[in-house]
Amino acid sequence: DTEVTQTPKHLVMGMTNKKSLKCEQHMGHRAMYWYKQKAKKPPELMFVYSYEKLSINESVPSRFSPECPNSSLLNLHLHALQPEDSALYLCASSQDWTANYGYTFGSGTRLTVV
């Protein structure tokens, strides 16, 4: 298995809702990442997990809460989002956290906040 699987593919949520994005990989990668991408912009790093521990939090608002239950799974819990949080949320993984390996990205979750 050489894929990163993200669910759901599309999500529409209200500003008072709580939802979760899920990401799964079975390549034995020990680093996993959340990126946010707005239209016609590059992916922006949100969180980095290395060996299931949060290593980088790029000053992301607390309405985004990451979780890494095990080495294969990564979640992003969403609560009280704003319309400007609408974007493509990408999960990625790599063998380790040294940038010495290419990242494998999922196809993303297209999030719309109404």
Partner 1 sequence: SQKIEQNSEALNIQEGKTATLTCNYTNYSPAYLQWYRQDPGRGPVFLLLIRENEKEKRKERLKVTFDTTLKQSLFHITASQPADSATYLCALADNNDMRFGAGTRLTVKP
Name the residues that contact partner 1, by CB under 8 A: 4, 33, 41-43, 45, 48, 55-56, 58, 88, 90, 92, 97-108, 110
- Least distance to partner 1, CB of residue 99, Å: 3
Q: How far is the CB of 49 from partner 1 (least distance, A)?
A: 12
Between CA 33 and CA 12 the distance in angstroms is 22
Find out whether 103 and 2 touch, Cβ atoms under 8 Å: no
Closest to 63 (Cα-Cα) out of 4, 111, 7: 111
Find the shortest distance in angstroms from Cβ 57 to partner 1: 10
Q: Which is nearer to partner 1, 62 or 100 (CB)?
A: 100
